[in-house]
Structure 1
Amino acid sequence: MKPPKTGEMLHLRGNALNKGDPVALPLTQSSMYHLPGAPDGHPTYGRVENPTWVHLEHVLAHLEDAPCLTFPSGMGAISAALFATVKAGSHILIPSDGYYVTRLLADRFLSNLGVSVTERPTTAFAEGGFGGFDVVFLESPSNPGLDMMDLPAIATAVRTAGGLTIADNTTMTPLGQRPLDLGIDVVVASDTKAMGGHSDLLMGHVASRNAQIMERVEEWRRVSGAIPGPHEAWLLHRGLETLDVRFDRMCASAQVLAERLAEHEAVKQIRYPGLSDDPSYALAKAQTSRFGFLLSITLETEEKAETFINTCPMLRPATSFGGVHSSAERRARWGDDVDPAFIRLSVGCEPIEELWQAIEISLNAL
């Protein structure tokens, strides 16, 4: 797997500047452009294009090594990828234990438009084969269970059966896993999470090396109006400039925490792909460059889980993940099929020993 050149990414704009140009990316906050005469080759309207998006997408394309389009949220990106690739009569396959809003989109909207939806659990996703599926939507590691799929094998099998694959890579980012390099057709991600990294924006993106698919995705964005705001695009661009250092700290800290939590008597079960006895370890080692910043622990009771989350001074009790602040939540409260005492823990950028001390003290007090 070829890692993205993040140093080169930092200078994509700088190496194209003219004398006197600002080094920081300007924020273009405009819905209209000065447009006398024929519009060909020029920005036309704020729903169609924006210079701030253009450079952001240039940076994201560098990270994904593929053309990229941005959207106002991760679900905006997922919706665009699906609506650009399915039609009435299509048959899609999605994980039954992945991000629940993707399932809601399929069940409450796609199914009403004549799209047939099948669900399978991550650990048995390939069972039954992929014949008859037009689109196979994957998520690896799964959210929140952290189970993994064999992406290259599934991508090959789906292509052989005549379908295409879409992979949600939110939890790993292009720095940790590169699904397109593993044979996946389309990548989607919520850049609200680690890509932005500061819990202050909603954004998402779609990337693919298939030009026809990207044309459809662009048309969907333009016609539906599912466009990112220029300020959010500017914020995401700024967040990407520190992604490498943040992701490195978060993954390294998650490994340390996972090893220590695995030995703590208050923890009934732990899941982290970087632990050698984790069910996802072999696949994670084969197809990721890092083991990620997400882990899960299951405590003895729901009450103890809530107490731990709400009293640890270095854990923000909040949904979402991937920010510089470590956060935790009990996923059963959203209806995920997990133990009531299951906690998804997103490791942030705090100094590891300070973070561990706070977690250990809170666990010891249960």
Structure 2
Amino acid sequence: MDGYGDSTRTVNAVGAHAVPGEPVAPVPFPASAYHLSPDEAEPMDTYGRASNPTWRQLESALAELEGAASALAFGSGMGAISAALRVLAKPGTTLVVPADGYYQVRRYAAEYLKPLGVTVVEAAAAQMCEAAGHADVVLAETPVNPTLDVVDLHRLATICRSRRSTLIVDNTAATPLGLQPLSLGADLVVASATKSLAGHSDLLAGYVAGSHPGLMAAIERDRLLAGPVLGVFEAWLVLRSLGSAGLRIDRQCRNAHAVALMLRDHPAVRSVRYPGLPQDPSHAVAVEQMRRFGGLVSVELADAGAVHRLVERSALLVAATSFGGIHTCVDRRARWGDPVPDGFARISLGIEDTDDIVADIERALT
């Protein structure tokens, strides 16, 4: 689908192909067991933890959007990340994880991988390339959640390639419509499809995408044995949501840019981060590698009370963790243990009309 716009790509990815007699919309295949063929060598679906036609359709769509040879669906983003790390981070290896990214990744590495003999190094976005020079496996998140720093993936991939280390990139915040990590040299992409791709705050899902057959086969084997599978109906819901992802993500990014511009000049705001702002510290790198700057804006207000008052005074904002849904959500990140000031909040822009959400937040800050 080279040369087509994102909405065309997302619609096409979910199966807009003319097959007479077949449904236009994707349909779920709920099954835990399948009829077996007498020919035991014939490839087939046998058991629901191993394979499912709905998975395959979703995985094909995700691979196409990420520019990968294949993708694997999981029951959550953490299910996808932990599977990739279990396969790659073996005893005796050195693993780099984001010090300023999603906190559950650090906890998994410290609580489950470190006791097995994996050396775990935490590195902030600015130190990621330096840390990668001594690593076997590097997991980078960009833009970083919640600070929205952007990692220079081309530089990081060059360092990893020189060491023959494996680079995994968490593409949750950017989405495949904003960033293509594999084209910049990453070996694997991991992401939470719970967020912008599914986009309705009503399910959990994750995926791994890549183009190394042996590595993808090893991760698929781990999924089979460990069992962090995606439910068939959840897979179907993600699949049907992908068709509108181009429209939704475009509106979220437009809203984020407009809100960031307003917040930048508001007297109640101590600081604002958005890679799309020319004044943002990450703007130069973001312009080089991102097609869109995402639907997240980070803002620092005076204190925790100011964040709570923002939500209380607003007619449109929802206080909720997670991001990427159709509603604009505010999450005070210090409550989860992120190393940020008490008044630091992540705003996930929804698909409301741009003028409405900008005016609502501006009024609520006054």
Q: 2: CA distance between counterparts of 1:122 and 1:13? A: 34
The one of 95, 112, 116 aligned to 2:115: 112
Q: 1: CA distance between counterparts of 2:15 and 2:144? A: 37
| 1:121 pairs with 2:100 | no
Please tell me the residue identity of whatever aligns with 2:127.
A
**Contact 1:43 / 1:50 at 8 angstroms: preserved in 2?**
yes
SS of residue paired to 1:27: coil
Please tell me the residue identity of whatever aligns with 2:80.
A
SS of residue paired to 2:176: helix
The one of 90, 100, 125 aligned to 1:87: 90
Question: Percent identity between the aligned chains?
Answer: 43
1:8 Cα offset (Å) = 4.5
Render the CA deviation track for 1:18-51: whole Å, top value 9, x for unaligned: 3221111111111011114134211111010111
Across the two proteins, how many residue pairs are aligned to each other?
A: 363
**Contact 1:305 / 1:343 at 8 angstroms: preserved in 2?**
yes
The one of 153, 158, 161 aligned to 2:160: 158
SS of residue paired to 2:365: helix
1:127 Cα offset (Å) = 2.8
**Contact 1:14 / 1:23 at 8 angstroms: preserved in 2?**
yes
SS of residue paired to 1:328: strand
1:130 Cα offset (Å) = 1.1
The one of 241, 244, 253 aligned to 1:242: 244
The one of 282, 303, 306 aligned to 1:280: 282
**Contact 1:5 / 1:63 at 8 angstroms: preserved in 2?**
no
Q: 2: CA distance between counterparts of 1:202 and 1:129? A: 31
Render the CA deviation track for 1:239-288: whole Å, top value 9, x for unaligned: 11001011111101111111111111111111111111110100111110
Counterpart position of 1:77: 80
TM-score, length basis structure 1: 0.96
| 1:295 pairs with 2:297 | yes
Please tell me the residue identity of whatever aligns with 2:114.
S
Q: 2: CA distance between counterparts of 1:310 and 1:176? A: 32
1:64 Cα offset (Å) = 1.0
Q: 2: CA distance between counterparts of 1:359 and 1:203? A: 30
Q: How does 1:163-242 map to 2 (within 5 A)?
A: 163-242=165-244
1:54 Cα offset (Å) = 0.8
**Contact 2:14 / 2:58 at 8 angstroms: preserved in 1?**
no
What stretches of structure 2 of length at least 5 have no aligned partner? none
* Mean Cα deviation higher: 273-282 or 122-131: 122-131
Counterpart position of 1:358: 360
Render the CA deviation track for 1:186-223: whole Å, top value 9, x for unaligned: 10000000010000110000011111110111001111
| 1:259 pairs with 2:256 | no
| 1:101 pairs with 2:79 | no
| 1:59 pairs with 2:61 | yes
Q: 1: CA distance between counterparts of 2:300 and 2:10? A: 39
Q: Per the alignment, do residues 174 and 60 of structure 1 end up closer, same or farther by CA in structure 2, a change over 3 Å counting?
A: same
SS of residue paired to 1:187: strand
Tell me the C-alpha RMSD between the 2 structures: 1.6
**Contact 1:4 / 1:175 at 8 angstroms: preserved in 2?**
no
Q: How does 1:315-330 map to 2 (within 5 A)?
A: 315-330=317-332
Q: 2: CA distance between counterparts of 1:306 and 1:71? A: 34
Q: 2: CA distance between counterparts of 1:244 and 1:323? A: 13
Q: 1: CA distance between counterparts of 2:320 and 2:13? A: 35
TM-score, length basis structure 2: 0.96
Q: 2: CA distance between counterparts of 1:196 and 1:264? A: 32
Q: 2: CA distance between counterparts of 1:163 and 1:3? A: 34
What stretches of structure 1 of length at least 5 have no aligned partner? none
* Mean Cα deviation higher: 225-234 or 310-319: 310-319
Render the CA deviation track for 1:37-91: whole Å, top value 9, x for unaligned: 1342111110101111111111111101211000000000101111121211111
Please tell me the residue identity of whatever aligns with 1:228.
L
Please tell me the residue identity of whatever aligns with 2:247.
V
